[in-house]
Amino acid sequence: MALPPSLRPLIVAGDISAPHTLDIFLDYVCPFSAKMSLAIDSVLRPLLGPGGKYEGKVKVIFRPQVQPWHATSTFVHEAGLAVVRVSPQHFWPFSLALFKDQGDYFDQPSLTRTPLEIRANLAKLAGNVFGSDSNLVKEFSSLLEHKGSPNGGNSITDDLKYTVKFSRQNGIHVSPTVLWDGLIANEISSSWGEKEWNEFLAAKINA
């Protein structure tokens, strides 16, 4: 499936030119999405990467799935998209770090925090991923600052709108949801390991 050039870092496994596509819709504050992220990292990236069994055949696109019943979902996805802008190579490491710490952004722990405090925590997490480059953290934070208009959003709002509109037009309601070549693959589960993914890919690619 297509991606704007600016969002190509959302391809987190496989080669951009691979003929098959797994679109995986994930919410940073969804526990099942966190499980799926571990499978992407430990199973799909090795299988689809250099030297992998399915190298050059499949790519994985991380589709941010904002779920507004999670109060911080907008904030955490803005943060992920900000990392895409300032340091694309850190998007996947930041995503894994955010999934690991997702409990800090659940409804109850965030109940008394202001949006500014939540974004400050996300900037701290980004800094841990970026390492010693403090300029990246400053750039990250500046992208999340509100613009001059009282209701104009921030510099990431257009990217966030794209991801929300993409989910809506494809009828995506829950996370994780996985599309294989544009069609929902309901059989895929966040509990899948190497065996299940190998069987799925073998059946699809050799069909």
Pair of tokens at residue 178: 């996985």
* Domain 5-205, CATH among 3.30.1280.10, 1.20.1110.10, 1.20.810.10, 3.40.30.10: 3.40.30.10
What average pLDDT does the chain have? 95
Which 3 state secondary structure label does DSSP give 59? strand
Contact 163, 63 (CB under 8 A): yes
pLDDT tens per residue, range 72-126: 999 999 999 999 999 999 999 999 999 999 999 999 999 999 999 999 999 999 9
**Cα(166)–Cα(188) distance, integer angstroms:** 20
| Sequence spans of domains, the chain | 5-205
> How many other β-carbons are positioned within 10 Å of the β-carbon of residue 54?
21
Q: What is the pTM of this model?
A: 0.95
Asked, as a colleague might, if the bond just before 176 is cis with ω within 30 of 0, I would say: yes
**Cα(20)–Cα(17) distance, integer angstroms:** 9
pLDDT at residue 122, as a whole number? 97
pLDDT tens per residue, range 32-58: 999 999 999 999 999 999 999 999 999
pLDDT tens per residue, range 168-202: 999 999 999 999 999 999 999 999 999 999 999 99
